[in-house]
Structure 1
Amino acid sequence: MFNVVETPEFWRTVKVAVPSDDGHVEASFRARFRVIDEETAGTYDVMRSEGMKDFLRTATLELDDIAGEGGKPIPYSPQLLDQMLSRSYVRLAMLRSYSDAVNQLRPGN
């Protein structure tokens, strides 16, 4: 049976390739997203950085498993989300995780 949920929400692990000296270091954090209906999603120009930020601000409910330089956990706040969204590689990783979940994409597809 399919249950209709007004606004589905879900957690995903966001894998981020963080730029480092001669390459990248893989890091991850958890994000809780809400599903944005297609009509609303279509109003965001995710090909532009501000449009992508606006979309992710709307879709993101919470972030977890994020620490500061000293390893101390950082609790979720709108300011933390904005700090994360200011990095293009984080934005792209978050959008990829959201899209993969909503479109049920699997590795290799």
Structure 2
Amino acid sequence: MGFKVAAEGAERQFTARVTAHVPVDGGTKEERFKARYRVLSTDHLENFELGSSQGTTDFLRAVIVELFELVDDNNNPVAYNDDVRDQVIIDPVARTALIRGYFDNIGRGRKGN
């Protein structure tokens, strides 16, 4: 089977498990959630200054379609919306995990494939 060339204007999306390494006394603990991303073309990626805080925020707003498995301090589910997305992407731990989740998954196949 060959590589499918996306039609002009077509959007690719994927869902990935994201692992955040949350600092705790004496180390870190892993907290996982899922993110649905849209794949941006290299031309579109050039619009984002990923070396700046605002550029990274703009990038994450552009690529995140939805976040799943989010909970509050009492482990109650948190429904996704744009405000929740913005709250998650300003958290430096989640931000790092989301960036890693995007680039790790568009750059190679999943382990075991």
Under a length normalisation based on structure 2, what TM-score does the superposition of the two structures give?
0.88
1:22 CA drift (Å): 2.1
Match of 1:82 in 2: 86
Match of 1:49 in 2: 53
User: What per-residue deviation string (whole Å, max 9, x for no partner) do you get for residues 36-92 of structure 1?
Assistant: 110111111112111111101000000000100111100111011111111112111
* Moved >4 Å (runs of 4+): none
Match of 2:19 in 1: 15
2:42 to 25, 38, 46: 38
- Percent of counterpart pairs with the same letter? 30
Match of 2:76 in 1: 72
Instruction: Name stretches of at least 5 consecutive residues in structure 1 with no aligned partner.
Output: none
Match of 2:3 in 1: 2
Distance 2:29 2:109 in 1: 24
Distance 1:106 1:8 in 2: 17
Match of 1:27 in 2: 31
Distance 2:92 2:49 in 1: 15
1:2 CA drift (Å): 3.0
Q: Does 1:102 align with 2:97?
A: no
What letter corresponds to residue 87 of structure 2 in structure 1? Q
Length, aligned pairs only: 107
Instruction: Name stretches of at least 5 consecutive residues in structure 2 with no aligned partner.
Output: none
1:23 CA drift (Å): 1.5
1:105 CA drift (Å): 6.4
Which has the greater radius of gyration? 2
